[in-house]
Amino acid sequence: MNIIMTLFLICQTLFVQMDQQIMCSSHEPNKSDMCLADCATTHTILKNREYFSNLNLADANVQTISGISNLINGSGRANIMLPRGTTIHVDNALYSEKSRRNLLSFKDIRQNGYHIETVNENNREFLYVTLVSNGKKEVLEKISALSYGLYFTYIRHVETNVVLNKKINDPTTFILWHDRLGHPGSSMMRKIINNSHGHPLRSHKIFSAGDYNCASCSQGKLIVKPSPSKIVVESPVFLERIQGDICGPIHPHCGPFRYFMVLIDASTRWSHVCLLSTRNVAFARLLAQIIKLRAQFPDNPIKTIRLDNA
């Protein structure tokens, strides 16, 4: 047992020496901080306030592998620069002055439009940060790996004038080009921006559909292809069969209403639309409309009501 423990301590010492050699060979200026690139963390955690362009101070707890710890002192928008000049903009980074090191989340790297891949060079593992532009892949950063599997790099704060040129939260220009290009989704917009020229969108954030309202996209999502007719001969009698459906949620919302119900007569295509705040009131609205139709058209009784699972 003593021999095994001795061998374990010797191996552990060798691993520490190897890590020190890697870190010494990757010498960075004094203004840079060591940062671990982590795929497990949900948020980027920074220990220096200089990285934040907008910081809201508020103590909070964070879930770690050892339990819940009171390490967070605030959160906000941060901007960091990697050794080769790649800028990472993080919308919701956490500030922790008690943290021993900085953590960079893979999620924030991907949200900046970069890709991550693992490469082995001369029996040494590296993490490549790449960008695909005009069909060509460019390696922007090469992040080294420690002997125990973690990836480390160095970061420094971005100059103020560089941060101001980044129009992060202004969707006006993005929406304008979204309309010009035919209302593509966020993934297609990212591909168009990275693989084309003549637009000012390279310095803009790629907004998702929930970040802005587009009336044309909302109307387009409500259009469905007509289904083949399942009934060869329609009923010739008015109100003999009524077909109904519930649509929603509506985006953007129409006041308190988030859904709407459509009732259509199978023979005359008479239709009625009623707005619903929730799906729970659909049955009450349906009964109210049936009572109105019986009072207005006593000679045309309703025999069948056809609904789907909505």
Q: Which domains does the chain have, with CATH numbers?
A: 21-164 (2.40.70.10), 172-218 (no CATH), 241-307 (3.30.420.10)
For residue 300, CA distances in Å to 238, 293, 294, 296 come to 6, 9, 8, 9
pLDDT, tens digit, 9 for 90 and up, residues 220-260: 777 566 666 555 565 678 888 899 999 888 887 788 898 99
pLDDT score at 167: 47
Q: Facing residues of 128 across strands?
A: 117, 142
Q: Could you tell me if 115 and 92 are in contact, meaning their C-beta atoms sit under 8 angstroms apart?
A: no
Report d(CA 193, CA 185) in Å as an integer: 12
Alpha carbon 10 to its chain centroid, in Å, reads: 46
Q: Facing residues of 64 across strands?
A: 67
Q: Could you tell me if 38 and 103 are in contact, meaning their C-beta atoms sit under 8 angstroms apart?
A: yes
Which tokens sit at 92? 């919701």
Report d(CA 210, CA 121) in Å as an integer: 42
Query: At which residue do the structure tokens 């060591």 appear?
Result: 34
Q: Could you tell me if 277 and 257 are in contact, meaning their C-beta atoms sit under 8 angstroms apart?
A: yes
Report d(CA 308, CA 271) in Å as an integer: 17
Q: Could you tell me if 148 and 12 are in contact, meaning their C-beta atoms sit under 8 angstroms apart?
A: no
Give every residue of the chain whose pLDDT is below 50, as ranges.
1-19, 21-29, 162-167
Report d(CA 133, CA 197) in Å as an integer: 11
pLDDT score at 205: 75
